Chain A
Amino acid sequence: METGIRILLLSVVLALSGCASIRNWLDRDEPKEDTSAQADTQADTDDASQAPPRVIEPEVARRKIKVPRIDTENIEVGGVFGALSVEDFGTNPVYGFTAAYHVTEDFFFQAEAGRTTAGKTSFETLGGNVTLLTGNQRQFTYYNLALGYNFLPGEVFLGRNLTMTSGFYLLGGIGSVDFAGDQNFAVSFGAGYRVLPTDWLAIHVRMQDRIFNSDLLGEKKLTNNLEANIGLTVFF
């Protein structure tokens, strides 16, 4: 009977110790978690004690923006070639130079100069040896300062795929004509048509009348000198 009680007690002791060891074995990680959790709470309290929260300061300097110089294309220069009819002296080839400044989309200032060599009057042709002017005096040189108005701007279509900007413009100006050894004040009126294959290139066709007073053939009269020309200009 005594041995039976001893065995029972021993088995109880063993079972208890075994259970205790198993419990330790199962919960081996628990203490570690406890310590890290403790550390976290400590860190939190530390941050809170260090007053204002940190502000993020960017290390990028504010960009200073400078607008580059914008390419303005208001100046148009080029050459012209055509025919000028000098009153009483026939029609002859003329070549010239033109420069314009486009002030607004509607108006432009234009300066032009040109030269032709006048032919013979019918009197000279019929009269045989008669010559009214020397070779140098036959040179007809003009310059003109004009205001232009883009009267009918538009577009032209070449086939299905090509569109070009175009415009019909009016010109009126003052200038001078150097002809027959004399310089005369001249007024000019005209109109032109321009087509722009690109933004910077223009083809012109124009007609102008250069009017001035001349007393070359005896009496003083107003002479009309019509010029038709084609021109090629570039914008820059």
Chain B
Amino acid sequence: MFVTAPYLELHTAPGRGFPITQVVARDESVDILKRQTDWFKVRTARGVEGWASYKDMLSVVLADGTPFTFPMGDRAGFTSHNGEIGVFAGDYSGATLISAYGSYSFNSQMALEVSLGQFLGNASNGTLADVGLIHVFMPEWRFSPFVTLGTGIVHIEPKATLVAPLDRTDQTAYVGGGFRYYLTRRFFARAEYRSQYVFTSRNDNEKVDEWKLGFAFFF
């Protein structure tokens, strides 16, 4: 890698406030050792090590003159990325819901999503595990709607104080929709509604409303 800017500033640690103790002059070479968040640890030809910010690394070129590119947390990354991880708080049929999800993107619109949740209510507690597909309509929009479809299981533990407490595990299927809203860097907010059908062993299937709002990042 070669520096094309007048100089490349090297900080003592990965953070904007840490002092700049070294600079690499134009046309000198650096080796990249590792990356922590948006900081690259580099070593100069003279063996000096330091941390360069991602903004400064945009002016570095490879030996054949092509620019050095790397995944960044920006709007382009929001539109198209490898995966997402997020946390939600919400409501599951009256109970407080905590859930987390991870997704793997096939392309900018379609992704496979796995979510785990726990709901804590007055009458019963329980856990949820779901796997499904999500389709984002306009991934390039800051405010982008999506629909989701999937299946899972729910384990319900009625509170011991109630009559005939019986733990049960049932299969579920859900359909839902929501919005993603790009905040900054790698972060976005996500609001979602799911209409979940619980296939009980009784005569009637149960329909449960799941509302949640959360925070997620892409990578």
Contact = CB atoms under 8 A, between A and B. Distances in A.
Interface stretch (B33-41, B142-150, B166-174, B190-198): B33-41
Interface stretch (A19-27, A31-39, A102-110, A222-230): A102-110
Contact of B186 (A65, A103, A165): A103
A67 B62 contact: yes
Interface stretch (B13-21, B22-30, B103-111, B201-209): B13-21
Interface in B1-56: 12-18, 32-41
Given A65-B64, A104-B186, A145-B100, A174 B38 contact: no
B120 A103 contact: no
Contacts of A176: 98, 118, 120
Interface string B121-165: 000010000000000000000000000000000000001100000
Given A104-B186, A155-B13, A235 B36 contact: yes
B37 A74 contact: yes
Contacts of B40: 70
Best-surrounded residue of A147, A163, A165, A184 (most CB of chain B within 10 A): A165
Contacts of A175: 98
Best-surrounded residue of A63, A64, A70 (most CB of chain B within 10 A): A70
Contact of B68 (A62, A67, A72): A67
B93 to A, nearest CB: 15
A183 B68 contact: no
A147 B215 contact: yes
Contact of B217 (A105, A109, A154): A109
B18 A155 contact: yes
A158 to B, nearest CB: 15
A111 B64 CA distance: 43
A105 B185 CA distance: 11
A65 B62 contact: yes
B187 A153 contact: no
27 contacts: A65-B66, A70-B32, A71-B33, A72-B34, A72-B36, A74-B37, A101-B85, A101-B217, A103-B37, A104-B37, A104-B38, A104-B185, A105-B15, A105-B16, A105-B37, A109-B85, A109-B87, A147-B215, A154-B17, A155-B13, A165-B12, A175-B98, A176-B118, A182-B159, A183-B120, A199-B34, A199-B36
